[in-house]
Amino acid sequence: MAGEGQMLRAAREEKQWSLAYTEEITKIRVRYIQALEAEEYRILPGTTYAKGYLRTYSKHLGLNPDEIIALYNPSSKPETGTLQIPQKPMMKSLPLWVRPVKVGIMAAVAIGLVFGISHWTKPGEKIAETPYTAPLPSAPKTEASTPGTSASAPSVPASQSSPPNVVAATQDGIAAQLVFNQPCWIVVQVDGKPSFQGTFASGTTKQVKGASKIELVTVGNAGGISVTLNGKALPALGKSGEVLHNVVLTPDMLKSL
């Protein structure tokens, strides 16, 4: 192995990017990302695609694209061979006297069918026709209304109104609303116990509630997330692409806002 695949994998793991998050950032399919890191270039469509993917992938990881491409060895990808088209066996032509014989046989069969049909169908016989009467649609039933009363539409419970935009402040415990403005990988714990983790697309919102503490164990893109704590917006956690660890949210943080 030339080593460019190991460099790409090491850079991705250093940024703590999952394969799914890397696919969203680079627009390269996970299958091709794994092929680049394993230097299995025969999986890619061709040498041009391989170089293009290496350049794009290395740029997003902060590596030198020219250095990565210089290490690229396309020898593992087989060259396209010459396409061989199998030859169809030649069909022997029939003698000229066979064609009139075939036409005569077909004409005789057609004449026989005509005479047979005329013999089976006797004149004067008709197929009995059964009259059919379509049922008439019945009129829809209507309920008589009592004079002085009018029908009213069912009322919608107040609990089904549109949800609030931010998490309301709570008297007991702590509540946080996470709004993802960019794709972001995140791991969350609540009161010391794992809550959820994963890659969230732009426009996604997550609400988290706990008794005393909410911990953002890992934030893969600090500039792509906005946090509202008990109804109050917190300052930006970091820059776009920055990776943060162990960001602890407590009710005491609200005193400094």
Task: Provide the CATH number for the domain around residue 63.
Answer: 1.10.260.40
Q: What is the pLDDT of residue 57?
A: 92
Q: Over the stretch 23-59, which tens digit does the pLDDT of each residue have?
A: 999 999 999 999 999 989 999 988 899 899 999 999 9
Domain edge (last residue) among 76, 103, 130: 76
Is 123 inside a domain boundary? no
Residue 27 inside a domain? The answer is: yes
Cα 245 to chain centroid, rounded = 29
Cα dist from 148 to 71, 145, 152, 219, whole Å: 89, 9, 13, 64
The answer to whether residue 117 is domain-embedded is no
Query: Does 13 fall in a domain?
Result: yes
Flag whether 185 is in a domain: yes
Name the domain boundary from 76, 101, 118.
76
The pLDDT, as a whole number, for residue 229 is: 83
Q: Which residues in the chain show pLDDT less than 50?
A: 1, 76-90, 122-170
| Residue whose token pair is 């509540």 | 175
Q: Answer whether 185's CB lies under 8 Å from 218's CB.
A: yes
**What total number of domains does the chain contain?**
2
Distance CA 176, CA 112 (A): 90
Q: Which of 224, 223, 219, 225 is nearest to 243 (CA)?
A: 219
pTM of this structure: 0.37
Domain with 236, as residue range(s), is 174-256
Whether 91 maps to a domain, the answer reads no
Residue 101's pLDDT is 64
**pLDDT for 100:** 63
Largest CA distance in the chain: 108
What are 103's strand-pairing partners?
none
Considering 76, 95, 116, which residue would you say is the last residue of a domain?
76
